[in-house]
Amino acid sequence: MNERDSEAVAAQLVAKGYTLAPSEKNADVILLNTCSVRDFAEKKAIGKMQNLAADVRKNRPEVVLGFLGCMAQSRGRELIDKLPDVDLVLGTQKFHRAAECLDEIITGAREKIVDVAEEENSEATIREHLLNGSAKTSVSAFVSIMQGCNQRCTFCIVPFTRGEERSRTIPDIVAECRELVSRGVKEITLLGQIVTSYGRRGGSGRGTKVESRAPAPLLPSTLDLRPSTIKSPFVQLLDAVHEIDGLERIRFTSPHPKGYGDDLIDAYARLPKLVESAHLPVQSGSDRVLKLMHRGYARKRFLGIIEKLRRAKPDIGITTDIIVGFPGETETDFEETLSLAREVEFDNAYIFKYSQRRDTPAAEMPDQVPQKVREDRNRRLLELVNGIAARKYDAFIGRQVQILVEGPSRKNPARYTGRTRCNRIVLFDGGARHQGRLMDVKITRTGSFTLYGDPAIMNL
């Protein structure tokens, strides 16, 4: 989300006549878009700003320094009190105001600006793209479909920093996707804090019709899947985006297991452009901890979703997020997380040591788990997850997979990089002629979370 928000702000500034500086050393304006999900991210942003103030601002006092995003939203003026070199603090509903605020500061109309107020329709303001900035972004683009979250998981600061759920309308989102495809984009990732709640609550897209009937599912009749008759607003959006000619692939992130209904599982079977990839944050394998987290589902329900997804799409890549050391998590609870990871065999898992966030209910819960125990559980789970992932990567050797070629590899420009439909990165010896193409490659070997492919004998 932050990457997408930063891109939109940069595109809005470019449209106003700014140019992107090659480095912060010669930039006249430096904006840090911040994350509050973990304490570490906040500390890093503050440390970075202190360095900028000491290095850049000291030599060039005219440089404008600003904080955007979640930490700006949650801390507001406190940031300027703590770091007097900061000129601008813009919250998560104010990204689109960056250009006008900078004008005011640069012309001297205002010295400092802090704006973290709510703004109606702000969910529809993240729409500009910088497609010419990098070769990769012209193939694949993120589209923000909603902002905020009403789930209020007890560990999470997002409902405080991003506000209530607000969705854009389907026509508005489809128009943005069409425009991207007309500029060469082949793959779109629909973005939101909780995309499975799209259209259910606030914003201009609220109340998207839900009475539409889904066609009969295209799943083999031997599968015991309950046919879905009602399509959620999110699945209606997937249907609408799927209609766009020239678009090859659709992804989305992040969904919530609670919203993973049969209509969405049917969508994987019905919509060929919806790729076989699902990031389903489970957070814990223990029902007791899931309840303390206020996640709204139990282990059995989560495992049921995975089973249905794999029946619908046997090759689907499934990744997850897991928090270890949540307050009150016992060794038995943690072992249930280990057993869930063994049972599901995730293709990858992002594991986080629980981080206390101020103003969240979990920060006040009794039985906070000591840091040493959090670290130990983190290590044990990581070992398990990485071992399973490595085995699953090795199973690709000798297989032929379809990739969408994104561009030259960052580490080695002689190599090109693409992604499989199940979201694995593939490197191969390629050239500019492969850029933006869907092509088949044969996997010859694996590296750390990377596949190496050989396109030589395939459809060149």
**What is the smallest separation between the CB atom of 185 and ligand SF4, expressed in angstroms?**
26
Nearer to ligand SF4, 258 or 392 (CB): 258
By CB under 6 A, residue 369 contacts ligand SF4 = no
By CB under 6 A, residue 151 contacts ligand SF4 = yes
**What is the smallest separation between the CB atom of 296 and ligand SF4, expressed in angstroms?**
9
Cα separation of 83 and 85, whole Å? 6
Cα separation of 382 and 261, whole Å? 29
- Fill in the amino acid letter for 265: I
**What is the smallest separation between the CB atom of 190 and ligand SF4, expressed in angstroms?**
15
**What is the smallest separation between the CB atom of 357 and ligand SF4, expressed in angstroms?**
10
Nearer to ligand SF4, 86 or 194 (CB): 194
> Residue 68 CA to chain centroid, in angstroms?
18
Site stretch for ligand SF4 (CB under 6 A), options 13-21, 106-114, 150-158, 224-232? 150-158
Nearer to ligand SF4, 139 or 156 (CB): 156
**What is the smallest separation between the CB atom of 47 and ligand SF4, expressed in angstroms?**
25
**What is the smallest separation between the CB atom of 148 and ligand SF4, expressed in angstroms?**
9
CB 67 within 8 A of CB 85: no
Q: Which of residues 378-407 bind ligand SF4 (CB under 6 A)?
A: none
CB 312 within 8 A of CB 277: no
Helix (H, G, I), strand (E, B) or coil at 440: strand
Out of 49, 153, 324, 426, point to the residue binding ligand SF4 (CB under 6 A): 153
**What is the smallest separation between the CB atom of 282 and ligand SF4, expressed in angstroms?**
11
**What is the smallest separation between the CB atom of 305 and ligand SF4, expressed in angstroms?**
15
Out of 152, 342, 399, 410, point to the residue binding ligand SF4 (CB under 6 A): 152
Cα separation of 237 and 145, whole Å? 9
Nearer to ligand SF4, 152 or 399 (CB): 152
Out of 114, 156, 318, 324, point to the residue binding ligand SF4 (CB under 6 A): 156
Cα separation of 237 and 228, whole Å? 16
**Rg of the chain over CA atoms, in angstroms?**
23
Residue 192: count other Cβ atoms within 10 Å of its Cβ: 27
CB 440 within 8 A of CB 455: yes
CB 187 within 8 A of CB 152: no
Q: Which of residues 251-310 bind ligand SF4 (CB under 6 A)?
A: 256
By CB under 6 A, residue 212 contacts ligand SF4 = no
Site stretch for ligand SF4 (CB under 6 A), options 26-34, 46-54, 155-163, 447-455? 155-163
Backbone dihedral angles phi then psi of residue 177, each to the nearest 5 degrees = -65, -45
Q: Which of residues 191-210 bind ligand SF4 (CB under 6 A)?
A: 193-194
Bridge partners of 405, per DSSP, are 418
Cα separation of 13 and 8, whole Å? 9
Q: Which of residues 158-187 bind ligand SF4 (CB under 6 A)?
A: 158-159
Nearer to ligand SF4, 217 or 257 (CB): 257
Nearer to ligand SF4, 66 or 192 (CB): 192
Helix (H, G, I), strand (E, B) or coil at 149: coil
Cα separation of 364 and 372, whole Å? 19
Which residue in 236, 238, 242 sits closest to 213, CA to CA? Answer: 236
Nearer to ligand SF4, 261 or 407 (CB): 261
x/- mask, ligand SF4, residues 110-149, rule CB under 6 A, reads ---------------------------------------x
- Fill in the amino acid letter for 458: M
**What is the smallest separation between the CB atom of 274 and ligand SF4, expressed in angstroms?**
21
Task: Find where tokens 């006249």 sit.
Answer: 28
Q: What is the DSSP string of 284-338?
A: -S-HHHHHHHT-S--HHHHHHHHHHHHHH-TT-EEEEEEEES-TT--HHHHHHHH
Nearer to ligand SF4, 162 or 424 (CB): 162
**What is the smallest separation between the CB atom of 196 and ligand SF4, expressed in angstroms?**
9
Q: What helix, strand, coil percent values describe the chain, rounded to 5? A: 40, 20, 40
The residue ranges that bind ligand SF4 (CB under 6 A) are 149, 151-153, 156, 158-159, 193-194, 256
